[in-house]
Amino acid sequence: MTTEESAANARPINRRRRAVLLGAALPAAEIGLAIALIAAWIPRLPDPLALHWGLDGVDRVGGLSGLLVPMVVVGALLCLPLMVGSVLARRGMRRGIIGLSAGMTTMFAGMTLGMVAVQLDAADAYSVGQPGAAIALPMLAGLAVGAIAAWLAGPDAPAPTVAPIPADAARMPLPTGGQAVWIRTLPTMPLLIPAVAVAGLLALGIVLGIQTGSWWMLLPAIVVALVLVLTLGWRAQVDRTGLTVRGLIGWPRFHLPADEIVQAEVTEVNPVREFGGLGVRAGHGNTLGFITRKGEGIHVQRTQERAVVVTIDDAARAVALLNTLAERTRPPSAD
């Protein structure tokens, strides 16, 4: 809370400019840099180039276009829409798209560059080693750049409301001047499928490592496992500052200020229909979901047609307290 207050007191961030810089200008610069480097490297590359690697080494060769064309097509289909989206997106999706744009482009530009770089000064295409690092490192870099870009994109601009909480919304009787806090851990997500996925990635990394002597492919498994750990033990807290949802180590952290709450309600969540699955999810129309199961949850309507949904037990008390504390941020009614 204190960090947000000090951030709000400091010079206001220009979200539009950051979106253009992080979501479009940075990716464009990365692509430009990759193209320039590859062009400069052409004299040092073998002809033909290694295009594809199997377990026993290079198994397909071809010209530079054979390596670049598929990358450019996939990149254009994926990165260009994200760059445009970064500039156009408002509110709910803005940070996510900017992060995705910066991260995806970093990964794609890095992989293309890496696959060319491993062939520099090679005698011929078949003598080129496994491009493990050229694949794993750009993946890591993409994650890091994406996360930093999303963070730098900044939270939504404050949008407080003075509209009264609807009379029919649930309330919790609190003594005048009394204070209350409600805290609950989100239900545990079914972890079988992600655990199997991590085990599969680990096995793949180990098999590839033994077969090729290149252990770089263990990196994606480790990263996915770390991300999985970040999804455990989330909790929701309702207090005078509003609704806060955070991970086991206090990060990532999401905060909905009390003065931006329009109304809180108990809801029944259908993860697949409303959010397309479990996890931290974007739902229909600027809805942010912290979804760990099917069933009971809270739906908090926020200003600017945004909403937040959290699956949680004891939703009735959470909702009543949210409405009551949000009401305290509103000016006293005229009558």
Mark 236-265 with x for binding to other proteins (rule: CB under 8 A) and - for no binding: -x-xxx------------------------
Q: Which is nearer to other proteins, 55 or 249 (CB)?
A: 249
Question: Does 207 help bind other proteins (rule: CB under 8 A)?
Answer: no
* Number of C-beta neighbours around residue 63 at 10 A: 12
Q: Using the 8-state DSSP alphabet, how is residue 302 labeled?
A: E
Number of residues interacting with other proteins: please give it, by CB under 8 A. 21
CA–CA dist 161, 302 (Å, integer): 9
Q: Which is nearer to other proteins, 177 or 285 (CB)?
A: 177
Mark 283-322 with x for binding to other proteins (rule: CB under 8 A) and - for no binding: ------------------------------xx--x---x-
CA–CA dist 63, 68 (Å, integer): 9
* Number of C-beta neighbours around residue 108 at 10 A: 23
Among 42-50, 153-161, 173-181, 193-201, the segment contacting other proteins (CB under 8 A): 173-181
Q: Which is nearer to other proteins, 36 or 248 (CB)?
A: 248
CA–CA dist 187, 233 (Å, integer): 8
Helix 94-117 vs helix 64-88: crossing angle, to nearest 10: 160
Q: Which is nearer to other proteins, 31 or 325 (CB)?
A: 325
Which of 175, 285, 331, 332 forms a contact with other proteins (CB under 8 A)?
Answer: 175
Question: Does 1 help bind other proteins (rule: CB under 8 A)?
Answer: yes
Q: Which is nearer to other proteins, 183 or 196 (CB)?
A: 183
* Half-sphere exposure (Cβ direction) of 285: Cα atoms closer than 13 Å: 7
Q: Which is nearer to other proteins, 58 or 300 (CB)?
A: 300
Q: With residue 64 as reference, give the H or E element that holds it.
A: helix 64-88
Query: What minimum distance in Å lies between the beta carbon of 233 and other proteins?
Result: 8
CA–CA dist 224, 233 (Å, integer): 17
CA distances from 232 to 200, 229, 254 (A): 20, 5, 15
Considering only CA atoms, which of 199, 73, 54, 196 is closest in space to residue 128?
A: 54
Question: Does 184 help bind other proteins (rule: CB under 8 A)?
Answer: yes
Query: What minimum distance in Å lies between the beta carbon of 23 and other proteins?
Result: 34
Residue numbers at the binding site for other proteins (CB under 8 A): 1, 174-185, 237, 239-241, 313-314, 317, 321
